Each structure stands twice: as structure tokens, then as C-alpha cells.
Amino acid sequence: MRRNLREVGLFEAKTRLSALVARVQRGEEITITKHGVPVARLMPPDLVRRNAGQVAANIRRLRRGIVLGKVGLRSLIEEGRR
């Protein structure tokens, strides 16, 4: 599925939400801007799940080889509960 990235201003997004959702259903990704600054993104839910999986994989990859030193994970969890 090919995605098109398009920016839409907040006012246009509010007035044309149904049309934008229909485009997202067809696979498009739409960024909503406020005064030219991106503030939100509309995307198909399967894309969100796929990105979440990639994020989790990246976290696992990044934490390999990181040690806590003398502090144990259990003691950190217990300290966070206080």
C-alpha cells in the first residue's frame, strides 16, 4: 500500500474531517499543522501497530549491553513504588 504524506491546516482538518478520514482509510498519512507547525498525524491503525512494533524492537536493541551496576532491577522497582 503506497502512502502519501500531506500536510493540512487545523481549520481545514476541522471542516473536512470526514474526507480526511476517508483518505486515511485508503492508506494516506496526513499531518495536521497549526500555524505551519505539525501538531498531529492521521494514519491507518495498522501503520500505528507496525510502528509500535518497530519502537519496541528498537528499545530491545538499545538496551542490550546496558547494565545497572550494583543496583538491581527489583530494588529500582520497589523504590519507584514508594
Do 47 and 21 form a contact (C-beta atoms < 8 A)? no
pLDDT tens digits along 4-35: 469 999 999 999 999 999 999 998 999 999 99
Q: By CB neighbour count within 10 A (0-12 exposed, 13-18 middle, 19+ buried), where does 47 fall?
A: middle
Q: pTM above the 0.85 mark?
A: no
For the chain, what is the domain count? 1
44: which residues sit within 8 A by CB, 6+ positions away?
Answer: 24, 25, 27, 29
**Cα 2 to Cα 34: distance, rounded to the nearest angstrom:** 26
* 29-76 pLDDT per residue, tens: 999 999 999 999 998 887 767 777 888 888 888 877 777 778 877 888
Question: Per DSSP, what are the bridge partners of residue 31?
Answer: 7, 41
CATH number of the domain where residue 37 is located: 3.40.1620.10
Domain hosting residue 42, numbered range: 5-81
